[in-house]
Structure 1
């Protein structure tokens, strides 16, 4: 029989992005005394999706009422503002404009007004003259103002969560093997470290499907990476706050937008192009094994057939600054090619089903002693605090059920936990 002391921790979280750290934070607050270890393969937390986005605190206006995205984003936006204020993290509630520049976009804009109201979000409808009250240099036929949108520094949020979580956060520890047994879970990292835990949480982001398979589970999806390329605006005075186009409902990306950050600069982008590696932050980064895995997934080809026109436009804007500038000029006519300076790109971990469906909502699945977070794209950073609580609730419920089954004792084989 293995005693509690045989385990290095109660819950092992794989992934030190904002969702993994929020889960650790929620676990130690919901159940004080719970021993939590976080394994992050990079030298520090928040090096990928968390630290490579536009820093927007999303309101939740885009998301289907009742979905996890809608519920968690609305709740998470308010909680993120409160968290930043409590810990002195740079943030601002700026509001944002969603602007229709063509008549064909007006019905979609009106649908967003209704969706926002269904989600409990304050929305104000604007005509062309009223757009100028908020953004004098922006042009459009109509717009809506969403008052609860804001900005913050998500890398700073992740750093604070790592310190506040009362967890053992270990960086530079990439997971290479997982052994899940009736007694618990043992994980081996590339460095040879073995960590034994009663339960496992997979928050590995761009690698979450791989980690699920290491644990012996079929995630029934694959991560298909999409790179989002950004520019910085050389004349940030042209934009006061946040300006977005009306999104295309057929694709889960918001289109090229303008975002004034907490540092005063203005981010322009992103587009959405296929990345040639899970961490392919420019066209020169190619990892043949990862690319082959993407191309061998049937859903990837079905996406290509279904959305090839949209994808061709995104590729064109990636390869041509003139084309990218043209997309920006629909919102901000004064922009020139010289105004756009290349900025670091991000990669979105998009879950794709076998039939080519782009998973639109957060996707959380449970297995014995394990919770997998398999789709957490934007607005995951905004919604990270409620997502963390939801994942923590599921893990703690599983541990409570185990304790009840075994009469409060954690049991294992006579020899105790085995190394992977």
Structure 2
């Protein structure tokens, strides 16, 4: 098993077209998702139970997880797991405290002309936590902690039910919700969970203002379909990692990190960008042996040998920078002699992991950074999930009479240029020299 080679040395192609990325056809999923979402809007809880039986092969006794079940799962957490959860929460919360903006910023653009920018949290948020190939308890804290720090007043979590646990979601997810103080948790997964949050279900779940959290293609398609009914954070595709490395990199570390992301999903992308053919050969030589020692061999091999994964050979790190900026990876690792300086020159990446001691799995759990990150090149224009994702800004405009009179002619002229005389008149009615001159 080897990653395929893409050689761009001596070339200046459109790197976006050259660097591999897997297909993720959301439009194709929209047809099926539309029916699911519309059914939830029309039939509420009955539709949720129908879809639970069809897709999850179990119908929960309670769609809203009882508080005693959350507490029991927290009590039954393995002490080491509980300690890991607690430390990860602490680190993420500490970083989240630095991510916000001042509650109120004031600008006086002229005497008596004041514009304030007020930052307020979204009132109610629905947080989706995947439970498919892996029960991603880490996504609980990555969604909940920044929302709590932002000051969101009402939080609800949805995560798929499991036949293995009698219709309840995975115990580690429930236990972590309890540790975080979240008691509104629903055993609802997939597109139907997004529809439940968007439309609300009478007697069960109030509608939310914003839905966040990663999910499979059906979850993403539901977000696209319901966007506008409800706010969404992003349309996240399969996870991906890019590693920018020179000949100083440790091949064993690089191979392990490429594998770590491939483990998530058969569609996950793993890309090495290097100017060292020797490193490329060494990494390829190590992959099979490292993969064989793991549990999820088939999934990893499918991802590493798929069209979305490759080694890209470049002339030097300058070309390497151009390649990774064009790719805009969800996760970017930099393994070079001058890793810190080089990392700060990168423009497009969801999160950047610097040097050999900062692997991506650190960020997945306990670095303190967010792991809900833009995929599919969206890092060119989008950020990961932080405190700011749960906030909105409002301008408060307060002009005195003198301030309006001073700028009034500017506004009137601008309005007439746009052929909107009513806009101009709204100024004139206030600033006309004589009462009789208003109209």
On whether the aligned pair clears a TM of 0.5, the verdict is no
Which one has more relative contact order, counting CA pairs under 8 Å at least 6 apart? Answer: 1
- Based on CA coordinates, which of the two structures has the bigger radius of gyration? 2
When normalised by structure 2's length, the TM-score is: 0.28
Q: Which has the higher helix share?
A: 2
Q: Which has the higher strand share?
A: 1
